[in-house]
Amino acid sequence: MGFFHYEIKDFVVGRNWRKYGGTPPIYGNSKMNLEEVHKEGLEVELNGNIFDDLSFYVSYAYHDWESKGPEPQGKELGDRARNRVTAGVRYNLFEDTLFILDYKFQDKQISHVNKEEPPNSGNWVCYDYAMAEHNVFDFGIEQILFKDQGLIKDAVLKLYVNNLFDEEYEDDEGFPMTDRTYGAALSFRF
């Protein structure tokens, strides 16, 4: 578990000239300094076994940004996701059969997009995009098919479903993230 505190002078961010005024950049993405930025947070990592055949991990992060300077754009720093959780459970149902369940949570946030697209086109795409919180589950089963047969040391089959409950969520530019997907994997060691 870790607590942290940063104090940063002249924190550089992308300048949103459409929203906060100023001249368009001559080339590339123009930047500005935020006079002083503070950042605090907490991070927790916990791993362990509940039983011999049941293990888990939990990972948590809390982040809080604050711009102490006079720049109005500095307030946007605080719009980033504050809470994030990842967790997982592994359960050996049988000696060669492993159930795997992973979970991810990300807090709501507002993404501030400010980019020239395509690069060097003069076409500036600037918008604020509010992203809801999201919860994503992934599930898989790993089965050792056999061990030490002939030249083969082991053969492992894995079946999985990512985004198990088909959560609809987006990346920080508003693009839809991948929906529920199914997969299978086979590996051999010789």
**Closer residue to another protein (CB): 21 or 27:** 27
Q: What's the rounded Cα separation, in Å, for the pair 157 and 142?
A: 6
How many other C-beta atoms can be found within 10 angstroms of the C-beta atom of residue 97?
12
How many other C-beta atoms can be found within 10 angstroms of the C-beta atom of residue 82?
16
| Least CB distance to another protein at residue 180 (A) | 8
Interface residue with another protein among 21, 23, 28, 95 (CB under 8 A) is: 28
| Least CB distance to another protein at residue 12 (A) | 5
**Closer residue to another protein (CB): 72 or 179:** 179
Element (H, E) at 19: helix 17-20
- How many residues lie near another protein (CB under 8 A)? 87
**Closer residue to another protein (CB): 17 or 139:** 139
Q: Are 128 and 18 in contact (CB under 8 A)?
A: no
* DSSP, residue by residue, 134-165: EEEEEEEEEEEEEEEETTEEEEEEEEEEESTT
Site for another protein in 60-79 (CB under 8 A): 60-61, 63, 65
Q: What's the rounded Cα separation, in Å, for the pair 135 and 108?
A: 11
Interface residue with another protein among 17, 100, 110, 167 (CB under 8 A) is: 100
Amino acid at 121: S
Per-position x/- string for 150-169, each x denoting binding to another protein as judged by CB under 8 A, each - no binding: --------x-xxx-------
| Least CB distance to another protein at residue 165 (A) | 13
184 near another protein, rule: CB under 8 A: yes
Angle in degrees, CA 94, 98, 103, rounded to 5: 140
**Closer residue to another protein (CB): 72 or 187:** 187
| Least CB distance to another protein at residue 122 (A) | 9
144 near another protein, rule: CB under 8 A: no
